Structure 1
């Protein structure tokens, strides 16, 4: 039996300098578009490591800390887990804490999707990307992107 997911995750908004945002389409829910997301593998896994791992697993992008730098927004969202995915968590778990990160990449960076997780990817202007996201916390992070990039 597969172990239950830890109800703590990361959200990584991938963008270019001109705020084009990469969205990926879920394989288990075609038509559901999102940024990179993923749960901790262990309760003591550092959030930055979770973000780095998920970024690579889902897109093939390596955050090396030099050319590609993950930024921790020091922002967390608590949201109700969608009923369709609650079976992945221990009985009674209904909320997840999501930690927001972003990463700026060149527009021509190669994207290698994990085929079991995602079907397609698309680059969109940030407002269009926010509109396409099925997750409200993901959309909100994208809407904050312009302001965040100005202040960081």
Structure 2
């Protein structure tokens, strides 16, 4: 369903391996902007977990709910970040909307998982140790989530 404006509620999914290698993907329209999987709800009614599963599949080709990536590999951290929407992305939201609420998830995947990027959204990927990945992120909330990863998967 195409909406005229994005819903200001999104997910951030930190994809990682058991040894804390983190997948970062580079935004196609913003070279040098590295991030984890992110995306807004498609409808107000869409459950956040479904948003996370959908965005992971759309952006990386990784399907949650398979033998390689069982449903329990996706963890809701029950953590949310409220942040000011970047000025260059205001046009995507209704005119009065200034902030987005981001819900944080992690997804543990096998080290050899195949990743297929959505070329309209991302142009490159890299796996990095979690501290290096945090340093590479353009978003402070994304970097903070990656740095919290050891605590949430312990």
Q: State TM-score, norm by structure 1.
A: 0.96
Deviation of 1:107 after TM superposition, in Å, equals 1.3
1:92 aligned to 80, 96, 116, which one?
Answer: 96
Alignment of 1:3-152 (within 5 A): 3-64=4-65, 67-68=68-69, 69-150=73-154
Equivalents in 1 of 2:48, 2:123: separation in Å? 26
1:137 partner SS = helix
Deviation of 1:63 after TM superposition, in Å, equals 0.7
Please list the CA deviations of residues 98-143 of structure 1 after superposition, one character each: whole Å capped at 9, or x if unmatched: 0000000111110000000000000000000000000000000000
Equivalents in 1 of 2:79, 2:66: separation in Å? 20
Unaligned runs of 5+ in 1: none
Q: State TM-score, norm by structure 2.
A: 0.94
Q: How many residues in Structure 1 have an aligned counterpart in Structure 2? A: 150
1:90 partner SS = coil
Please list the CA deviations of residues 5-37 of structure 1 after superposition, one character each: whole Å capped at 9, or x if unmatched: 000000000000000000000001010000000
Deviation of 1:65 after TM superposition, in Å, equals 6.5
Cα contact 2:68–2:110 (8 A) shared by 1: no
Deviation of 1:149 after TM superposition, in Å, equals 1.0
Equivalents in 2 of 1:144, 1:115: separation in Å? 29
